[in-house]
Amino acid sequence: VTDSTSHTVLGVVLRVRDGRLEVQLADGALPAAGLRAGEGLDVALARAVEVDGLAHVEQLETRVLEGGGLATAYLGLRPGGDADGDWQPVAGLPGLPPGHAALIAAGQARLRAKLSYTNVGFALAPAAFTISELREVYVAALRHDVSATNLHRVLVRRGVLERLDGLRAPGRTGGRPAALFQFSTQRLEVTDEFAALRPPQR
Amino acid sequence: VTDSTSHTVLGVVLRVRDGRLEVQLADGALPAAGLRAGEGLDVALARAVEVDGLAHVEQLETRVLEGGGLATAYLGLRPGGDADGDWQPVAGLPGLPPGHAALIAAGQARLRAKLSYTNVGFALAPAAFTISELREVYVAALRHDVSATNLHRVLVRRGVLERLDGLRAPGRTGGRPAALFQFSTQRLEVTDEFAALRPPQR
DNA sequence: GCAAAAGTGTTGTGTCTACACCCATGT
DNA sequence: ACATGGGTGTAGACACAACACTTTTGC
């Protein structure tokens, strides 16, 4: 006794640019594609957003929409790069369709949590960066201040960051040249799995 | 250009009984219900499993099944209680439909992670319990040893457990009577949110 | 008294924040 | 020289695991 309903796939694609967390929109709404019979959800997602540019993708949530149709939302993350498409700061977006704002909030919350105990940062950062630049990304995504000193040490200790050879020349105002870093892995890894209740050592 | 497909809701309902993590089955498969037009996913879930007995529910994942239909799985948790329905230990279940084993594994993984940084334990534990009994629940769900001493201290420090008045009388072999505890909250709370990268104190 | 089970005291370790200090560059 | 931004050293707070020890019961 199963009825049939249409299914939509929505993309919540986030990036950090100029110190602001931005979401990609299409015609004033989250990019979407209808699911066709027999295809996987990822196929429909690829029709909704340019999935090649995404450094990380994960499913967020499935919900029944107001009209009665179903929608599955995905979180996509990509480096700050340059302009292509309609990017808007996540703060205070007016006129979104019902439910879209909640999905953006869910994506932000997920990102925020995973920044703390995984290496997701790789998906928002460029290939090479200074600690200051990475700090800007973390500040924008976490929405609280982050000390460059401690960010450096935490991520290096966890083996998340690797030092590169070059140095970044200082700007016109001077200052010591900054070391360049990269994320050691471009795939999601849990770096702090058992913050508590970890298994016995032996 | 959206086709229509049938949608199924599956329940991965877990409990701990006699020191083993068990999943509820119906006819050798995860309990399921077809989604009817216009109804919420939770309504269909309630048709698949007895949702009143669940102390905690959360969505797991939506996937395209082999036949081309869609399925959304929910994780449900309940206290160990007594027998009603078909409960099987999660380890090595033979003959499940394709995909069901992976969903059970996903539910287990989710439970395992949340036991470490939330108070989900409340959903698996009875109303009142001793630390030893709670330890059995954690051991079964985490699949590694847990020290009663440290479990006690961690959960009390976090404010997750509250001491009750009574004592549990020792068994025939003697021993000091055990204090009774309860979870201070019956709703999911994150108790260790910023294990790392926590916001500045001032 | 002795074994069994529960609970507390204490030590050591690791990870984090905070802050003082040192380094390398531009003007 | 001095301002600016980058990086290291170190101290203190905190949470945890591990283990010795004490408490309270049954036999």
Helix, coil or strand: residue B190: strand
pLDDT value at B200 more than 80: no
Q: Across all residues in chain B, what is the average pLDDT?
A: 92
Q: Which amino acid is at B194?
A: F
- Please tell me which of the candidates A4, A142, A144 has its beta carbon nearest to residue B5: A4
Minimal-distance CA residue of chain B relative to A195: B195
Counting residues of chain B whose pLDDT is more than 90, the rounded percentage is 80
Min distance A117 CA to chain B CA atoms (Å) = 7
Predicted pLDDT at B38: 86
For residue range A141-180, list pLDDT tens digits in order: 999 999 999 999 999 999 999 999 999 999 899 999 999 9
Minimal-distance CA residue of chain B relative to A58: B61
For residue range A42-80, list pLDDT tens digits in order: 999 999 999 999 999 999 999 998 888 899 999 999 999
Please report which confidence band the pLDDT of residue B194 belongs to, taking 50, 70 and 90 as the band edges.
low
- Please tell me which of the candidates A6, A192, A193 has its beta carbon nearest to residue B4: A6
Q: Is the CB of A131 under 7 A from strand D?
A: yes
| pTM of the predicted model over 0.85 | yes
Min distance B128 CA to chain A CA atoms (Å) = 22
- Please tell me which of the candidates B68, B154, B192 has its beta carbon nearest to residue A37: B68
Minimal-distance CA residue of chain B relative to A4: B6
Q: Is the CB of A28 under 7 A from strand D?
A: no
Strand D bases near protein CB (under 7 Å) are 3-9, 15-20, 23-27
